[in-house]
Structure 1
Protein backbone atom coordinates (compact mmCIF):
# COMPACT_ATOMS: atom_id res chain seq x y z
CA UNK A 1 0.00 0.00 0.00
CA UNK A 2 1.35 3.40 -1.01
CA UNK A 3 -0.32 6.63 0.03
CA UNK A 4 0.10 9.63 -2.25
CA UNK A 5 0.73 7.20 -5.09
CA UNK A 6 -0.50 9.01 -8.17
CA UNK A 7 2.36 11.48 -8.71
CA UNK A 8 6.01 12.14 -8.05
CA UNK A 9 7.91 9.77 -5.80
CA UNK A 10 4.84 7.68 -5.00
CA UNK A 11 4.14 7.07 -8.67
CA UNK A 12 7.78 6.26 -9.42
CA UNK A 13 7.84 3.74 -6.59
CA UNK A 14 4.56 2.19 -7.77
CA UNK A 15 6.01 1.69 -11.24
CA UNK A 16 9.26 0.24 -9.92
CA UNK A 17 7.52 -2.22 -7.58
CA UNK A 18 5.01 -3.30 -10.21
CA UNK A 19 7.83 -3.90 -12.71
CA UNK A 20 9.47 -6.18 -10.13
CA UNK A 21 6.31 -8.26 -9.87
CA UNK A 22 4.71 -6.81 -6.73
CA UNK A 23 1.02 -6.02 -6.41
CA UNK A 24 0.60 -2.31 -5.73
CA UNK A 25 -2.38 -0.62 -4.13
CA UNK A 26 -2.13 3.14 -4.33
CA UNK A 27 -4.19 5.78 -2.57
CA UNK A 28 -4.60 9.30 -3.92
CA UNK A 29 -7.06 12.15 -3.68
CA UNK A 30 -7.88 11.59 -7.34
CA UNK A 31 -7.90 8.08 -8.77
CA UNK A 32 -8.55 8.82 -12.44
CA UNK A 33 -5.24 7.51 -13.81
CA UNK A 34 -5.99 4.55 -16.05
CA UNK A 35 -2.27 3.87 -16.52
CA UNK A 36 -1.54 3.38 -12.83
CA UNK A 37 0.46 0.13 -12.43
CA UNK A 38 -1.89 -1.50 -9.93
CA UNK A 39 -5.05 -0.69 -8.02
CA UNK A 40 -5.58 3.03 -7.42
CA UNK A 41 -8.12 4.06 -4.81
CA UNK A 42 -9.52 7.55 -4.27
CA UNK A 43 -9.51 8.89 -0.71
CA UNK A 44 -9.18 12.22 1.04
CA UNK A 45 -6.75 11.33 3.82
CA UNK A 46 -7.38 14.64 5.55
CA UNK A 47 -10.81 13.22 6.45
CA UNK A 48 -10.15 10.92 9.40
CA UNK A 49 -13.38 8.94 9.11
CA UNK A 50 -13.04 8.48 5.35
CA UNK A 51 -9.43 7.39 5.76
CA UNK A 52 -10.34 4.85 8.43
CA UNK A 53 -13.07 3.38 6.25
CA UNK A 54 -10.82 3.14 3.17
CA UNK A 55 -7.92 1.56 5.06
CA UNK A 56 -10.23 -0.96 6.77
CA UNK A 57 -11.79 -1.93 3.44
CA UNK A 58 -8.40 -2.39 1.78
CA UNK A 59 -7.10 -4.46 4.69
CA UNK A 60 -10.05 -6.80 4.19
CA UNK A 61 -9.53 -7.04 0.43
CA UNK A 62 -5.74 -7.45 0.31
CA UNK A 63 -3.05 -9.20 2.35
CA UNK A 64 -0.46 -6.45 2.59
CA UNK A 65 3.16 -7.12 3.44
CA UNK A 66 4.23 -3.48 3.29
CA UNK A 67 3.03 0.09 3.64
CA UNK A 68 4.62 3.31 2.39
CA UNK A 69 3.45 6.45 4.18
CA UNK A 70 4.18 8.93 1.42
CA UNK A 71 1.24 11.34 1.35
CA UNK A 72 2.10 14.85 2.46
CA UNK A 73 0.77 18.37 2.78
CA UNK A 74 2.88 21.55 2.75
CA UNK A 75 1.60 24.97 3.78
CA UNK A 76 4.60 27.29 4.13
CA UNK A 77 4.20 30.00 6.78
CA UNK A 78 6.94 32.00 8.52
CA UNK A 79 6.95 32.56 12.25
CA UNK A 80 4.63 35.43 13.04
CA UNK A 81 2.17 34.31 10.36
CA UNK A 82 1.54 30.70 11.44
CA UNK A 83 -2.15 29.86 11.38
CA UNK A 84 -2.94 27.07 13.83
CA UNK A 85 -5.69 25.59 11.66
CA UNK A 86 -3.19 25.24 8.81
CA UNK A 87 -0.63 23.85 11.23
CA UNK A 88 -3.10 21.22 12.43
CA UNK A 89 -4.07 20.34 8.85
CA UNK A 90 -0.44 19.66 7.95
CA UNK A 91 0.00 17.52 11.04
CA UNK A 92 -3.20 15.61 10.35
CA UNK A 93 -2.45 14.67 6.75
CA UNK A 94 1.19 13.75 7.38
CA UNK A 95 0.83 12.00 10.73
CA UNK A 96 -2.71 10.74 11.22
CA UNK A 97 -2.67 8.98 7.85
CA UNK A 98 0.63 7.27 8.67
CA UNK A 99 -0.76 5.89 11.91
CA UNK A 100 -4.05 4.86 10.32
CA UNK A 101 -2.46 3.14 7.32
CA UNK A 102 0.15 1.30 9.37
CA UNK A 103 -2.32 0.12 11.98
CA UNK A 104 -4.64 -1.14 9.25
CA UNK A 105 -2.02 -3.42 7.68
CA UNK A 106 -0.22 -4.37 10.88
CA UNK A 107 -2.39 -7.39 11.87
CA UNK A 108 -1.63 -9.24 8.63
CA UNK A 109 2.07 -8.48 8.81
CA UNK A 110 2.18 -9.70 12.41
CA UNK A 111 0.34 -12.87 11.42
CA UNK A 112 2.74 -13.69 8.60
CA UNK A 113 5.82 -12.69 10.60
CA UNK A 114 7.14 -10.41 7.85
CA UNK A 115 6.52 -6.85 6.82
CA UNK A 116 7.92 -3.50 5.81
CA UNK A 117 6.89 -0.05 6.98
CA UNK A 118 8.48 2.88 5.17
CA UNK A 119 7.84 6.48 6.17
CA UNK A 120 8.68 9.34 3.84
CA UNK A 121 10.29 12.15 5.81
CA UNK A 122 12.18 15.11 4.32
CA UNK A 123 15.47 16.97 4.28
CA UNK A 124 13.54 19.87 5.82
CA UNK A 125 13.80 18.17 9.24
CA UNK A 126 17.27 19.75 9.40
CA UNK A 127 15.70 23.21 9.17
CA UNK A 128 14.17 25.36 6.46
CA UNK A 129 12.53 28.79 6.64
CA UNK A 130 8.75 28.75 6.47
CA UNK A 131 8.45 25.03 7.24
CA UNK A 132 7.49 25.02 10.94
CA UNK A 133 4.51 22.72 10.36
CA UNK A 134 5.83 20.55 7.53
CA UNK A 135 9.29 19.97 8.98
CA UNK A 136 7.80 19.25 12.40
CA UNK A 137 5.50 16.65 10.87
CA UNK A 138 8.34 15.06 8.93
CA UNK A 139 10.51 15.03 12.07
CA UNK A 140 7.67 13.28 13.88
CA UNK A 141 7.76 10.59 11.17
CA UNK A 142 11.41 10.00 12.06
CA UNK A 143 10.30 9.47 15.64
CA UNK A 144 7.51 7.15 14.49
CA UNK A 145 10.16 5.19 12.62
CA UNK A 146 12.43 4.76 15.62
CA UNK A 147 9.63 4.00 18.06
CA UNK A 148 7.80 1.51 15.84
CA UNK A 149 11.08 -0.19 14.92
CA UNK A 150 11.71 -0.92 18.60
CA UNK A 151 8.15 -2.09 19.20
CA UNK A 152 8.24 -4.45 16.20
CA UNK A 153 11.87 -5.54 16.31
CA UNK A 154 11.07 -9.19 17.11
CA UNK A 155 8.13 -9.59 14.76
CA UNK A 156 9.91 -9.77 11.39
CA UNK A 157 8.59 -6.30 10.53
CA UNK A 158 11.11 -3.54 9.84
CA UNK A 159 10.38 0.18 10.00
CA UNK A 160 12.54 2.71 8.19
CA UNK A 161 12.31 6.17 6.67
CA UNK A 162 13.71 8.04 3.72
CA UNK A 163 14.34 11.79 3.75
CA UNK A 164 14.52 13.10 0.18
CA UNK A 165 16.10 16.39 -0.71
CA UNK A 166 14.87 18.58 -3.59
CA UNK A 167 13.36 16.20 -6.11
CA UNK A 168 12.17 17.03 -9.60
CA UNK A 169 8.52 16.09 -9.22
CA UNK A 170 5.62 17.72 -11.04
CA UNK A 171 4.70 19.73 -7.97
CA UNK A 172 8.28 20.87 -7.39
CA UNK A 173 8.55 22.12 -10.96
CA UNK A 174 5.21 23.92 -10.75
CA UNK A 175 6.53 25.88 -7.80
CA UNK A 176 10.13 26.22 -9.02
CA UNK A 177 10.25 26.49 -12.83
CA UNK A 178 13.58 26.38 -14.66
CA UNK A 179 15.48 29.64 -14.26
CA UNK A 180 13.44 30.76 -11.26
CA UNK A 181 14.77 32.18 -8.01
CA UNK A 182 13.34 29.15 -6.22
CA UNK A 183 15.26 26.75 -8.45
CA UNK A 184 18.51 28.63 -7.83
CA UNK A 185 17.92 28.68 -4.07
CA UNK A 186 17.33 24.94 -3.89
CA UNK A 187 20.26 24.11 -6.17
CA UNK A 188 22.59 26.17 -3.99
CA UNK A 189 21.85 23.81 -1.10
CA UNK A 190 22.78 20.61 -2.97
CA UNK A 191 26.51 19.78 -3.32
CA UNK A 192 25.84 17.63 -6.39
CA UNK A 193 24.34 20.73 -8.05
CA UNK A 194 21.30 18.95 -9.40
CA UNK A 195 17.90 17.79 -8.24
CA UNK A 196 17.01 14.23 -7.46
CA UNK A 197 14.85 12.24 -9.83
CA UNK A 198 11.76 10.47 -8.47
CA UNK A 199 13.04 7.09 -9.65
CA UNK A 200 16.33 7.61 -7.78
CA UNK A 201 14.37 8.04 -4.56
CA UNK A 202 12.16 5.09 -5.48
CA UNK A 203 15.17 2.82 -6.04
CA UNK A 204 16.36 3.29 -2.45
CA UNK A 205 12.82 2.87 -1.16
CA UNK A 206 12.39 -0.37 -3.07
CA UNK A 207 15.53 -1.74 -1.44
CA UNK A 208 14.23 -0.93 2.05
CA UNK A 209 10.97 -2.68 1.16
CA UNK A 210 12.70 -5.82 -0.10
CA UNK A 211 14.06 -9.11 1.16
CA UNK A 212 17.68 -7.96 1.47
CA UNK A 213 17.03 -5.15 3.96
CA UNK A 214 15.90 -7.38 6.81
CA UNK A 215 18.64 -6.31 9.24
CA UNK A 216 17.94 -2.60 8.77
CA UNK A 217 15.34 -1.04 11.05
CA UNK A 218 14.75 2.27 12.77
CA UNK A 219 16.91 4.14 10.25
CA UNK A 220 16.36 7.32 8.24
CA UNK A 221 18.16 7.44 4.90
CA UNK A 222 18.80 10.90 3.50
CA UNK A 223 18.64 10.86 -0.32
CA UNK A 224 19.64 14.41 -1.11
CA UNK A 225 22.74 14.81 -3.26
CA UNK A 226 24.79 15.50 -0.14
CA UNK A 227 22.65 18.37 1.13
CA UNK A 228 22.39 16.88 4.63
CA UNK A 229 26.20 16.72 4.85
CA UNK A 230 27.04 20.32 3.96
CA UNK A 231 28.00 22.51 1.07
CA UNK A 232 30.42 21.43 -1.63
CA UNK A 233 34.02 22.52 -1.16
CA UNK A 234 34.33 24.02 -4.65
Structure 2
Protein backbone atom coordinates (compact mmCIF):
# COMPACT_ATOMS: atom_id res chain seq x y z
CA UNK A 1 0.00 0.00 0.00
CA UNK A 2 1.26 3.44 -0.89
CA UNK A 3 1.51 5.99 1.88
CA UNK A 4 -0.56 9.03 1.01
CA UNK A 5 -0.86 12.43 2.64
CA UNK A 6 -4.32 13.75 3.42
CA UNK A 7 -5.61 17.09 4.69
CA UNK A 8 -8.71 17.18 6.92
CA UNK A 9 -10.53 20.36 7.91
CA UNK A 10 -12.31 20.40 11.25
CA UNK A 11 -10.06 17.54 12.30
CA UNK A 12 -9.84 17.85 16.07
CA UNK A 13 -13.17 16.30 17.08
CA UNK A 14 -15.98 14.00 16.04
CA UNK A 15 -16.07 12.73 12.49
CA UNK A 16 -12.95 14.62 11.41
CA UNK A 17 -10.92 13.16 14.26
CA UNK A 18 -12.21 9.64 13.54
CA UNK A 19 -11.20 9.96 9.89
CA UNK A 20 -7.75 11.13 10.93
CA UNK A 21 -7.34 8.14 13.23
CA UNK A 22 -8.42 5.61 10.61
CA UNK A 23 -6.20 7.09 7.92
CA UNK A 24 -3.21 7.08 10.27
CA UNK A 25 -3.98 3.49 11.29
CA UNK A 26 -3.95 2.59 7.59
CA UNK A 27 -0.41 3.95 7.27
CA UNK A 28 -1.11 7.37 5.83
CA UNK A 29 0.18 10.79 6.84
CA UNK A 30 -2.52 13.08 8.23
CA UNK A 31 -2.59 16.85 8.52
CA UNK A 32 -5.52 18.50 10.24
CA UNK A 33 -6.80 22.05 10.51
CA UNK A 34 -8.90 23.11 13.50
CA UNK A 35 -9.68 26.19 15.51
CA UNK A 36 -8.06 24.71 18.62
CA UNK A 37 -5.07 22.36 18.60
CA UNK A 38 -4.40 21.51 22.24
CA UNK A 39 -4.22 17.80 21.50
CA UNK A 40 -0.98 15.91 21.95
CA UNK A 41 -2.64 12.66 20.84
CA UNK A 42 -3.71 13.76 17.36
CA UNK A 43 -2.44 11.12 14.88
CA UNK A 44 -0.51 13.58 12.71
CA UNK A 45 0.05 17.31 12.59
CA UNK A 46 -2.75 19.60 13.71
CA UNK A 47 -2.64 23.23 12.56
CA UNK A 48 -4.58 26.05 14.18
CA UNK A 49 -6.62 28.26 11.85
CA UNK A 50 -9.94 30.06 12.00
CA UNK A 51 -11.68 28.59 8.97
CA UNK A 52 -14.50 31.13 9.30
CA UNK A 53 -11.95 33.79 8.31
CA UNK A 54 -10.90 33.84 4.65
CA UNK A 55 -7.46 35.36 5.20
CA UNK A 56 -6.64 32.90 7.99
CA UNK A 57 -7.77 30.00 5.84
CA UNK A 58 -5.71 31.05 2.82
CA UNK A 59 -2.63 31.68 4.97
CA UNK A 60 -2.90 28.24 6.59
CA UNK A 61 -3.38 26.49 3.24
CA UNK A 62 -0.45 28.26 1.61
CA UNK A 63 1.80 27.35 4.54
CA UNK A 64 0.78 23.69 4.37
CA UNK A 65 1.22 23.52 0.59
CA UNK A 66 4.82 24.65 1.03
CA UNK A 67 5.51 21.82 3.46
CA UNK A 68 3.46 18.88 2.20
CA UNK A 69 2.56 17.10 -1.02
CA UNK A 70 -1.11 16.35 -0.55
CA UNK A 71 -2.85 13.43 -2.22
CA UNK A 72 -6.31 14.07 -0.88
CA UNK A 73 -8.66 16.29 1.07
CA UNK A 74 -11.58 15.83 3.44
CA UNK A 75 -13.78 18.91 3.63
CA UNK A 76 -15.31 18.28 7.02
CA UNK A 77 -15.49 21.59 8.89
CA UNK A 78 -19.03 22.80 9.45
CA UNK A 79 -21.33 25.01 11.47
CA UNK A 80 -24.98 24.52 12.40
CA UNK A 81 -27.29 27.13 13.91
CA UNK A 82 -30.76 25.65 14.40
CA UNK A 83 -33.52 28.15 13.61
CA UNK A 84 -37.13 27.84 12.55
CA UNK A 85 -37.82 29.36 9.15
CA UNK A 86 -39.51 32.43 10.62
CA UNK A 87 -36.46 33.07 12.81
CA UNK A 88 -33.72 32.75 10.21
CA UNK A 89 -31.76 35.99 9.97
CA UNK A 90 -29.42 36.73 7.10
CA UNK A 91 -26.40 37.25 9.35
CA UNK A 92 -26.66 33.72 10.75
CA UNK A 93 -27.58 32.31 7.36
CA UNK A 94 -24.50 33.84 5.74
CA UNK A 95 -22.26 32.64 8.58
CA UNK A 96 -23.45 29.04 8.24
CA UNK A 97 -23.07 29.10 4.47
CA UNK A 98 -19.59 30.65 4.74
CA UNK A 99 -18.16 28.19 7.26
CA UNK A 100 -19.56 25.14 5.47
CA UNK A 101 -18.68 26.19 1.93
CA UNK A 102 -15.82 28.70 1.75
CA UNK A 103 -13.13 26.47 3.35
CA UNK A 104 -14.20 23.59 1.11
CA UNK A 105 -13.79 25.68 -2.00
CA UNK A 106 -10.53 27.31 -0.88
CA UNK A 107 -8.93 24.04 0.23
CA UNK A 108 -9.92 22.30 -2.98
CA UNK A 109 -8.53 25.14 -5.08
CA UNK A 110 -5.30 25.08 -3.07
CA UNK A 111 -4.67 21.36 -3.45
CA UNK A 112 -5.93 20.77 -6.99
CA UNK A 113 -2.84 21.96 -8.90
CA UNK A 114 -0.57 19.48 -7.14
CA UNK A 115 -2.98 16.58 -7.45
CA UNK A 116 -3.61 17.38 -11.11
CA UNK A 117 0.11 17.49 -11.81
CA UNK A 118 0.59 14.05 -10.26
CA UNK A 119 -2.53 12.59 -11.87
CA UNK A 120 -3.98 11.22 -8.63
CA UNK A 121 -6.20 12.67 -5.95
CA UNK A 122 -9.18 12.16 -3.70
CA UNK A 123 -11.67 14.73 -2.42
CA UNK A 124 -14.37 13.81 0.08
CA UNK A 125 -16.97 16.37 1.12
CA UNK A 126 -18.84 15.72 4.36
CA UNK A 127 -22.49 16.58 3.75
CA UNK A 128 -25.47 15.51 5.87
CA UNK A 129 -28.71 13.56 5.91
CA UNK A 130 -30.41 16.90 6.62
CA UNK A 131 -30.36 17.64 2.89
CA UNK A 132 -33.43 15.38 2.66
CA UNK A 133 -35.35 17.62 5.04
CA UNK A 134 -35.37 18.40 8.75
CA UNK A 135 -36.97 21.05 10.89
CA UNK A 136 -34.97 24.11 11.95
CA UNK A 137 -32.09 23.52 9.54
CA UNK A 138 -32.79 25.99 6.71
CA UNK A 139 -29.22 27.30 6.61
CA UNK A 140 -27.33 24.11 7.45
CA UNK A 141 -29.27 21.88 5.07
CA UNK A 142 -28.86 24.41 2.27
CA UNK A 143 -25.10 24.50 2.85
CA UNK A 144 -24.80 20.72 2.96
CA UNK A 145 -26.90 20.42 -0.20
CA UNK A 146 -24.51 22.84 -1.87
CA UNK A 147 -21.63 20.52 -0.94
CA UNK A 148 -23.37 17.74 -2.84
CA UNK A 149 -23.67 20.07 -5.83
CA UNK A 150 -19.97 20.91 -5.48
CA UNK A 151 -19.27 17.18 -5.48
CA UNK A 152 -21.15 16.47 -8.69
CA UNK A 153 -19.83 19.48 -10.57
CA UNK A 154 -16.21 19.00 -9.54
CA UNK A 155 -16.39 15.29 -10.34
CA UNK A 156 -17.41 16.11 -13.91
CA UNK A 157 -14.67 18.71 -14.29
CA UNK A 158 -11.98 16.38 -12.93
CA UNK A 159 -13.17 13.04 -14.30
CA UNK A 160 -10.19 12.58 -16.61
CA UNK A 161 -7.49 13.87 -14.26
CA UNK A 162 -7.18 10.90 -11.90
CA UNK A 163 -8.93 12.88 -9.16
CA UNK A 164 -12.23 11.62 -7.74
CA UNK A 165 -14.73 13.69 -5.81
CA UNK A 166 -17.37 12.13 -3.58
CA UNK A 167 -19.55 13.10 -0.64
CA UNK A 168 -20.66 11.38 2.54
CA UNK A 169 -23.99 12.28 4.14
CA UNK A 170 -24.02 11.03 7.73
CA UNK A 171 -27.22 10.53 9.66
CA UNK A 172 -27.31 11.17 13.42
CA UNK A 173 -23.82 10.37 14.73
CA UNK A 174 -22.89 10.14 18.38
CA UNK A 175 -20.33 12.91 18.62
CA UNK A 176 -19.67 15.30 21.50
CA UNK A 177 -21.51 17.97 19.51
CA UNK A 178 -24.56 15.73 19.14
CA UNK A 179 -24.50 14.80 22.82
CA UNK A 180 -24.30 18.47 23.78
CA UNK A 181 -27.82 18.96 22.45
CA UNK A 182 -29.17 15.45 22.93
CA UNK A 183 -28.09 13.82 26.20
CA UNK A 184 -28.53 10.10 26.70
CA UNK A 185 -32.13 9.30 27.52
CA UNK A 186 -33.42 12.66 26.27
CA UNK A 187 -36.46 13.15 24.07
CA UNK A 188 -34.14 14.58 21.43
CA UNK A 189 -32.08 11.42 21.32
CA UNK A 190 -35.24 9.32 21.13
CA UNK A 191 -36.55 11.33 18.19
CA UNK A 192 -33.36 10.87 16.22
CA UNK A 193 -33.18 7.14 16.93
CA UNK A 194 -36.83 6.71 15.95
CA UNK A 195 -35.96 8.02 12.48
CA UNK A 196 -33.23 5.40 11.95
CA UNK A 197 -34.41 1.94 10.81
CA UNK A 198 -31.43 0.33 12.56
CA UNK A 199 -32.70 1.81 15.80
CA UNK A 200 -29.47 3.40 16.99
CA UNK A 201 -27.11 6.30 16.51
CA UNK A 202 -24.11 5.99 14.23
CA UNK A 203 -20.54 6.13 15.50
CA UNK A 204 -17.82 8.44 14.15
CA UNK A 205 -15.66 5.46 13.17
CA UNK A 206 -18.46 4.20 10.90
CA UNK A 207 -18.38 7.42 8.91
CA UNK A 208 -14.59 7.31 8.94
CA UNK A 209 -14.64 3.83 7.40
CA UNK A 210 -16.62 5.14 4.44
CA UNK A 211 -14.31 8.12 4.05
CA UNK A 212 -11.20 5.96 4.23
CA UNK A 213 -12.55 3.78 1.42
CA UNK A 214 -13.40 6.76 -0.78
CA UNK A 215 -9.86 8.10 -0.22
CA UNK A 216 -8.28 4.78 -1.17
CA UNK A 217 -6.87 3.23 -4.32
CA UNK A 218 -9.83 0.83 -4.41
CA UNK A 219 -12.37 3.62 -5.01
CA UNK A 220 -10.83 4.74 -8.30
CA UNK A 221 -13.97 4.23 -10.43
CA UNK A 222 -16.33 6.03 -8.04
CA UNK A 223 -16.83 9.76 -8.50
CA UNK A 224 -19.62 12.28 -8.13
CA UNK A 225 -21.48 10.10 -5.64
CA UNK A 226 -23.07 10.78 -2.27
CA UNK A 227 -22.91 7.91 0.21
CA UNK A 228 -25.46 8.03 3.03
CA UNK A 229 -24.03 6.58 6.24
CA UNK A 230 -27.23 6.69 8.22
CA UNK A 231 -28.50 3.31 9.38
CA UNK A 232 -31.09 3.37 6.60
CA UNK A 233 -32.64 6.72 7.58
CA UNK A 234 -32.51 8.03 4.00
CA UNK A 235 -34.66 5.17 2.71
CA UNK A 236 -37.11 4.72 5.56
CA UNK A 237 -37.38 7.76 7.74
CA UNK A 238 -39.89 9.80 9.65
CA UNK A 239 -39.47 13.52 10.23
CA UNK A 240 -37.21 14.21 13.19
Aligned to 2:136: 130
TM alignment of 1:176-215, pairs within 5 A: 176-215=182-221
TM-fit CA distance, 1:5: 0.4
> Is 2:146 the partner of 1:111?
no
CA distance in 1 between counterparts of 2:149 and 2:198 reads: 28
TM-fit CA distance, 1:144: 0.1
CA distance in 2 between counterparts of 1:70 and 1:38 reads: 17
Consecutive aligned runs of 4 or more in structure 1 exceeding 2 Å deviation: none
Instruction: Show structure 1 runs of 5+ residues with no match.
Output: none
Cα-to-partner distance string for 1:52-111 (whole Å, 9 max, x where unaligned):
111111111100000000000000111111110000000000000000011111111001
Q: Could you tell me which of 213, 228, 231 is aligned with 1:225?
A: 231
Aligned to 1:13: 19
CA distance in 2 between counterparts of 1:63 and 1:191 reads: 42
Aligned to 1:98: 104
Q: Could you tell me which of 85, 98, 102 is aligned with 1:79?
A: 85
Cα-to-partner distance string for 1:149-184 (whole Å, 9 max, x where unaligned):
000000000000000000001111111001111101
Calculate the TM-score normalised by the size of structure 2: 0.96
TM-fit CA distance, 1:231: 4.0
Query: How large is the Cα RMSD of the aligned pairs?
Result: 0.8
Instruction: Show structure 2 runs of 5+ residues with no match.
Output: 1-6
Cα-to-partner distance string for 1:18-65 (whole Å, 9 max, x where unaligned):
011100000100011010000000011000111011111111110000
CA distance in 1 between counterparts of 2:46 and 2:234 reads: 33
Aligned to 1:121: 127
Q: Could you tell me which of 154, 157, 171 is aligned with 2:163?
A: 157
TM-fit CA distance, 1:122: 0.1
Aligned to 1:67: 73
- Count matched residues: 232
Aligned to 2:3: none
3-state SS of the aligned residue for 1:41?
strand
CA distance in 1 between counterparts of 2:131 and 2:221 reads: 25
Aligned to 2:4: none
